[in-house]
Amino acid sequence: YTEDWTDTPKEQTGTCEFNNTDHRTELNGVERLIVRRGQSFTINLHLRSGVYQPGGSALDLTVETGPQPSDQYGTQASFGLTDQIDTSRWSAAITSPPGNMVSLSICSPPDAPIGRWRLTLGQGGRVDFVLLYNPWCSGDVVYMDSEEKLREYILAQDGIIYRGGWKYPIPTPWNYGQFEDGILNACLRILDMNPKCLRNPGKDASGRRNPIYVSRVLSAMVNCNDDKGVLQGRWTDDYDGGVSPLSWKGSVEILRNWDTNACQPVRFGQCWVFAAVACSVSRALGIPCRLVTNYNSAHDTNSNLVIERYVDENGQLVQKSRDMIWNYHCWVENWMTRPDLKPGFDGWQVMDPTPQEKSEGVYCCGPIPLKAIKEGELTDKYDAPFVFAEVNADVHTFMKRKDGSTKKIISSVHVGLKISTKSVGSDRREDITHLYKYPEGSDEEREAFTKANHQNKLLQQQDNAGLLIVIKVSTEMRKGCDFDVFAVITNNTPNEKKCRLVFGSRAVSYNGILGENCGFKDLLNVQLAPGEEKRVALRMNYSKYAENLTEDNLIRLAALLLDYGTQEAYLAVRNVVLVNPEIKVRILGEPKENRKLAAEITLQNPLPVPLQNCCFTVEGSNLTGGQVITERLNSTVEPGQDAKVKIYFTPTHSGLRKLVVDFDSNKLCHVKGYRNVIIGK
């Protein structure tokens, strides 16, 4: 009877809508079948010969994926009809009463490889479908047992990335857009373009059952360092041939550009852009994912868990080694079990797509369980020592004198601070530092350091130095204003102290590269009575810092104190973030599906100089039709005046969405803002 079975395209569209909604993939569209593994889907067949009788018709089904399907690799399976679905393997059952229309239920095993599959029905029909990971299925290794978390870590198409500094985290909106038109195709193409697939496509297709394998592939393919990857990194101020990493508002444009330009790398990215694109791809494929920021992130190039910093006699950094402390660094965490490791290492895994160091000959990093980092288990896969150093490295500071000699100086710098991610279901910051490290000074911390052979931290004694120097700043330093910063010196000794204070400031990029001087003071004769505290102010003038700032809006303050009596040197360092003005977004009209809406967007010029070439760009998943809306102002915006535009857009789906805004001009670059919009049905 096998040639009896047919299916019609019209039926397929209805079937796609039903199945995709049931499998929570309908936001990708309902024109094709997109289902999750370990969960059954339905197709409707018509019998040419009239009526189906149970037991009377045989049906052979075959499914295959990849260019070299094989039973052995799990990329091909042949099966017939059974009385009921078996969710542990490929199976099919008829779920409709006798008649000329037959509903066929088909299920894949929860460990089937993800990707594009072909289903052949006997001699007749063929159905193509995409299979994704299924975090709603308890048999899947990416299973997550919280509907609320899945709404955030799989279904949320926008989010918040934390930048700025650890004393002043700045939330930046991002449009992940993993369900926008064409994005799933781009994600599958990333898997197809990876060197492992090009070398051995059959084995790679089989490897896609495993999110550990896929996460590692993604961490290599989001950067283009060894392959036809998505993004090219650049950490200088010269973005010729591309755009500043700060100009991106979301992943959609990046993934589309890569996909439509023959997999040429998109220029340019920095850590938060790499991480955000990796987050979009992970969520699109069905791996729960969140983006994480680590403040004061150590980049340890020689794996000794020590960052060595050198300063000159004015307390300014001198670049002597590739070891760096980044003001912040972003990566992602993917959720999965780790059957390849001993028990206890399931859950969140760090995966870092920013190209920093090679791993197994390729620029990639992870996945490594958070628990392995916390416990100091540095032999676990993959790349534990590098990530452990990012949050735990010790910092040693040396002064390099003019005569070439060096001297260790007293300075307290902590790495791995205020590790942050967006909260589930709200725009608040969630602090997850405790998932990476034990409380400082605790027995558990010492145990983890012992396992990790982190000798420097174990030997550390607290220097209760007689002289103390710290840098204090005002609560909020706005870009465009003049303000004071203070070096506060305290003499905790019973003796009078005579010191020299060098207090300087320089523009700095978020990854620690120093720019030009923004203000400087050298006091040769600071006298302190026993117990005395002195505050020394340094004025930061807009006229001085404006031209030197990088797009990161960061100034690095350094105060170096030299004790003439003991020849000891003390250093305090602090990065300050200059705050951009707020973008105000007003929604005009009642937000409803498929109804045109207007938004009025305003920014007040906070600078003492006029702004020219002002431009607002806006995007939002299911709000702006997958496109970026651009509005340029023809006029100059004077100090204190408003830059204002009105934009129109038509939401396509109900629910909570973010309208993400970027403002750019000649003097005020890439200011970010957003507005949450609740779209009614």
How do residues 296-321 score in pLDDT, each as one tens digit?
999 887 778 888 888 888 888 887 66
Instruction: Select which of 4, 140, 323, 352 is catalytic.
Output: 352
Q: Is the pLDDT score of 464 beyond 60?
A: no
For residue 162, which amino acid is it?
Answer: Y
55 has a pLDDT exceeding 70: no
240: annotated binding-site residue? no
**pLDDT at residue 97 tops 80:** no
Task: Identify the pLDDT of residue 318.
Answer: 82
H or E stretch covering 430 = strand 429-431
pLDDT range class, residue 9, cuts 50, 70, 90: very low
Burial (CB count within 10 angstroms: exposed 0-12, middle 13-18, buried 19+), residue 189: middle
| pLDDT in the model for residue 458 | 62
Read off the pLDDT of each residue in 162-188 and give the average, rounded to a whole number.
96
Question: Does 352 qualify as catalytic in the annotation?
Answer: yes
SS (H, E, C) 348-409: EEEECCCCCCEECCEECCCCEEHHHHHHCCCCCCCCHHHHHHHHHCEEEEEEECCCCCEEEE
Write down the catalytic residue from 16, 271, 330, 499.
Answer: 271
pLDDT band at 96 (very low <50, low <70, confident <90, very high): confident
Percentage of residues in the chain having pLDDT higher than 90: 78
Question: Among this protein's residues, is 329 annotated catalytic?
Answer: yes
Please give the mean pLDDT across all residues of the chain. 92
pLDDT-derived band at 266, boundaries 50, 70, 90 = very high
How confident is residue 3, by pLDDT bands cut at 50, 70 and 90? very low
Residue 49 clears pLDDT 80, i.e. is over it: no
Look at residue 10 in the predicted model and tell me its pLDDT: 45
The rounded percent of the chain whose pLDDT value lies above 70 is 94
Q: What is the pLDDT of residue 476?
A: 81
Please compute the mean of the pLDDT values over residues 69-74 and round it to a whole number.
93
Q: Does 1 score more than 50 pLDDT?
A: no
Q: In sequence order, which residues have a C-beta less than 8 Å from that of residue 258 and are 6 or more positions away?
A: 186, 230, 231, 264, 265, 266
Distances (CA, A) of 557 to 182, 468, 472: 46, 16, 10
- The string of pLDDT tens digits covering residues 593-643 is 999 999 999 999 999 999 999 999 999 999 999 999 999 999 999 999 999
The structure tokens listed for 288 are 């729960």
Q: What secondary structure letter does DSSP report for 151?
A: I
Query: Is the pLDDT reported for residue 383 higher than 70?
Result: yes
- Give the full edge-to-edge strand order of the sheet including 406-411: 317-318, 306-311, 394-400, 406-411, 569-577, 554-563, 497-508, 514-528
pLDDT tens digit sequence for 364-379? 999 999 999 999 999 9
Q: What pLDDT shows up at residue 45?
A: 81
Average pLDDT over residues 460-479: 81
**Would the annotation count 445 as a binding residue?**
yes
Whether the per-residue pLDDT at 48 is higher than 70: the answer is no
Is 582 labelled a binding residue? no
pLDDT at 51 over 80: no
Res 656 pLDDT > 60 = yes
Confidence at 508, pLDDT banded by 50, 70, 90: very high
**What counts of helices (H) and strands (E) characterise the chain?**
14, 39
Q: What is the pTM of this model?
A: 0.94
Is pLDDT larger for residue 12 or for residue 567?
567
Instruction: State yes or no: is 187 an active-site residue.
Output: no
The answer on whether 440 is annotated among ligand-binding residues is: yes
The predicted pLDDT at position 50 comes to 56
Say yes or no to pLDDT of 8 above 50. Answer: no
Q: What is the pLDDT of residue 641?
A: 98
The predicted-structure confidence for 190-249, as pLDDT tens digits, reads as follows 999 999 999 999 999 999 999 999 999 999 999 999 899 999 999 987 899 999 999 999
